[in-house]
Each structure stands twice: as C-alpha cells, then as structure tokens.
Amino acid sequence: MASRFYNETKYSGLETNIPNSYMNPLLQMYKYTPRLRNVALFHAATGCTVEDCLLCQMGYLFDMLEKANGLNCQATNFLKTLSSSPNAARHGVLEEDSASSGALTMMMQSLNRFLLDQTIFERQKPGQMLQWQNPDDADLPQVFMIRATKRQSCMTCHKETRPMGDTVTTDLIYSSKVLPLAPL
C-alpha cells in the first residue's frame, strides 16, 4: 500500500491533491475536538432530512477517518456539500470563489468562523430535534460561544458604541511591524 509508506500509524489523514484541501488541518482538528466530533457523529446517525447538511457530512467524514485506520481519505463529499452552499461562497471559504487570491490564513479564519456558526445553526434548525437526542449537543452553543463586547467607532463623527454580542471566534489582528529606516 502506497499510503502506508508515509504513515505507519493508525491515524488517517486527508488527501492534499484535491481543491480546497487547505481545509484539511481544520477538519482534522475538529475531529479531535470531542464535543464537536460526538455531535457530528450522532447527528449523521439520526437520519437528518436536510439536504446538503454540513453537520451530517462532517459526521460522515469523522466516521470515515476513524474507520480508515491509517489510510488516507478524501473529504470529497464534505467539500461538495460545502461548495454547494451559497453562504460558503459569500464567506470566501472556497478557493475558486475567494477574492483573497492566495491569502490562505484569512480563508482559514473565515472557514473556522463559518463552520462553527453553521454547525450551531444546523443543530438548532426547527425539525432537527428528533425524538431522541444526544445529551452532549444540548449545550453545544454554550461550548463554542464567547460573550463579547464589540467596539464600533464611526470614522466621521468618532462616536463609539459597544454592543454586546456572542461569537464563536475571536480574530487577533496584529499591526505589521514597521522597521526603522537605516541612516544613509
């Protein structure tokens, strides 16, 4: 087996020779986030009737990675479902739709925000609560949500407001270092 040449462990990886494979590290990190993995696996096993449900596809992907026992897998179905989502295109998380032209760090941040928001949204959709429910996912929003205060400032009048708002991600933005000019 060719894939065993590089990976002699029981941990499976994702193929990198397909479009949008920049997502692989994030998807694998999600697989090893116990609460998210359990919710996705349970959700995929419930018989969800929502077409193109990312949470189902995430559960199928996690299941495939677990059962592959060290062999490489492709996230093809997950990526196909993600590509069909109009929201994904709007958030710039697909390489083919991204205006960031190669800024993968920005795409990864957008993808993380989008997937966590989408996971919580799909879990809370009416009709998603079936007669049996995983107790782990009842508090899923509380696990990922961060209570935050936003600081908004008007560029013209400089009036500042600080509304409260929940978020699932926090972007850390560092100003670029300006190196002093060397004397001539």
How do strand 152-153 and strand 164-167 relate by DSSP bridges?
unpaired
**Contact (Cβ atoms closer than 8 angstroms) between residue 5 and residue 71:** no
* Whole-prediction pTM: 0.73
Number of domains in the chain: 1
Print the SS3 string covering 61-128: HHHHHHHCCCCCECCHHHHHHHHCCHHHHHCCCCCCCCCCCCCHHHHHHHHHHHHHHHHHHHHHCCCC
Residue 56 lies in a domain: yes
- Amino acid letter at 163? P
Residue 178 lies in a domain: no
User: Phi and psi for 164 in degrees, rounded to 5?
Assistant: -80, 150
Residue 174 lies in a domain: no
Give the pLDDT confidence of 12-52 residue by residue, as tens digits: 889 888 888 899 999 999 999 888 898 889 888 887 888 88
